[in-house]
Chain A
Amino acid sequence: MCGIVGLFLKSAELRENLGDLISDMLIGMTSRGPDSAGIALYHNPAAAGFSKLTLFDPDNGTDWSELASALSNALSLSATASQRGNHGVLTVEGGTAVPRAWLKQNHPHIHIMGHGSVMEVYKDKGLPEQVVDQYDLRSVNGTHAIGHTRMATESAVTTEGAHPFTAADDMCLVHNGSLSNYFRLRQWLRRQGQEVETENDSEVAAKYFAFRLSQGMPLDEALRAGFRDLDGFYTFAMGTRDGFAVVRDGIGCKPAQLAETDDWVAMASEYRSLTGLPGIEKARLWEPEPSQIYSWDLLTETMQGAA
């Protein structure tokens, strides 16, 4: 099983309520995924010339401000820290590559949950409602978010194994389904120099797309390459800096529902998660076709479906 949700708010007014709306959507998918839950939030863009890293320490022993100072001293970059639940957010000068490499080398036990200029990723074990409370997700505002509720099949229930999985700067993936060729694909990705951190099949998909994007492929082409290279069942939602994309496998094994009004675009595994959205009664509702890419971004201002 597993449940996935995504919401993009076109209306500036509604952006104040992003946390409330996406929290209800996430909780609506509890019966599809009671093991763990997670969310990628696109909000509070870092100032120009800065970026954000969302971090998790499985031992809970890290003082995020001390870590920011250590990073700042070592790399001669300005860095500040904030905390949300058991995750820390470091805002650092420059891009994410240098601080990520430094963290891996000097604090290998710290997991980098998300990175980019806009995206923060929060995830943990437990019911969606507990995860919402733990990170005080209802209080956040922002433009868009994608979320996941997990019923684990392919790997253990851990914080690291929860979704979303970060694929690249400001880009992350949530997955409903299971992949069958991920062992081979993981070996192949590692040979290409791509780091894969967990035993999770969905992380392999995220890193696969990251690799394709790093080769210079545009998002739609990378997703299309996935139809060829990823074997298994999936509905993916991919969060991007400016919106999100949704794809289903060629035989449509896993459900997905899309909805759009003048104020928002939403996706969910099931309609149940959309019922609390304002104006849902008048929304355009449709089921995405298998092997098609549906994407939404600030530039197109409407959901695009491409064969």
Chain B
Amino acid sequence: MITVDLADTSLRELNKRLHALPPDTNETAWEVLHPLGQHAIAAGLDVPIELTVRGHAGYYCAGMNKQATVTIDGHCGWGVAENMMSGHVRVKGNASQSAGASGHGGLLVIDGDAAARCGISMKGIDIVVGGDVGHMSAFMGQLGTLVVCGDAGESLGDSLYEARIFVRGDVESLGADCIEKEMKPEHLEALAGLLAAADIDADPGSFRRYGSARKLYNFDVDHADQY
């Protein structure tokens, strides 16, 4: 285990060391102490390492992640795992706004709540939230899956493309062009797989599915009032 204490090592030094790791590195277990809410901790990783942040992280923690498994043992600020390409990111506390924004792949798990715009513009990432999500979550989601074990705030899935949404609790309101859809066996199976991967114990049968009505893809004068 390599331990880096950000109370006496600069963030830039940590990220430089992480970025310099070769693809076949033996240094695969890392621990970061005293994150003190600093921004961009462990952003831009591209190696199959396991890294744990002990404490609360600031903005963009594990942003642009590829391959790595990052655990934040605390809360984190805006944009955790934003633009993630692959790998796993887990937040044991709550995440602030725009968690997993624009993510292309990988799995983001938030054990607590996520604030507004969780999964905004998601492009293939899978996000599992143990608690609630705030307003405008999955806004313009293009691909991937957002699973919410608690409640969702207003305008869920506004202007949605092909991202899939599963919510167990209440949805305050659906955004433009987002509708509830039938839960078919293949959806239950996919959801069960994601919950298992996220290590979250929840009955897939207790969720409802939401998706795009596909009316906003192309301009249609009959739908002008929806734009």
Contact = CB atoms under 8 A, between A and B. Distances in A.
B77 interface: yes
Nearest to A271: B37
A285 B37 contact: no
A270 B58 contact: yes
Contacts of B77: 255, 270-271
Interface residues of B, number: 17
Given A252-B97, A285-B56, A285-B75, A270 B116 contact: no
Which applies to chain B's interface (DSSP): helix, strand, loop or mixed? loop
B38 interface: yes
A151 interface: no
A177 to B, nearest CB: 15
A285 B94 CA distance: 10
Contact of B94 (A252, A287, A290): A287
A274 B116 contact: no
A252 B115 contact: yes
B78 A255 contact: yes
A24 to B, nearest CB: 12
Interface string B166-199: 0000000000000000000000000000000000
Contact of A290 (B38, B59, B96, B135): B135
B172 to A, nearest CB: 12
B121 to A, nearest CB: 16
23 contacts: A251-B135, A251-B136, A252-B115, A252-B134, A252-B135, A255-B77, A255-B78, A255-B96, A255-B97, A270-B58, A271-B58, A271-B77, A272-B36, A272-B37, A274-B37, A275-B36, A275-B37, A285-B56, A285-B75, A287-B115, A289-B134, A290-B116, A290-B135
A220 B38 CA distance: 33
A270 B37 contact: yes
Contacts of A272: 36-38, 58
A274 to B, nearest CB: 7
Contacts of B78: 255
Nearest to A256: B96
6 closest cross-chain pairs (CB), A and B:
A271-B37, A272-B37, A275-B36, A252-B116, A271-B56, A287-B115
A287 B200 CA distance: 24
Contacts of B94: 286-287
A280 to B, nearest CB: 9
Contacts of B134: 252, 289
Interface string B126-144: 0000000011100000000
Contacts of B97: 252, 255
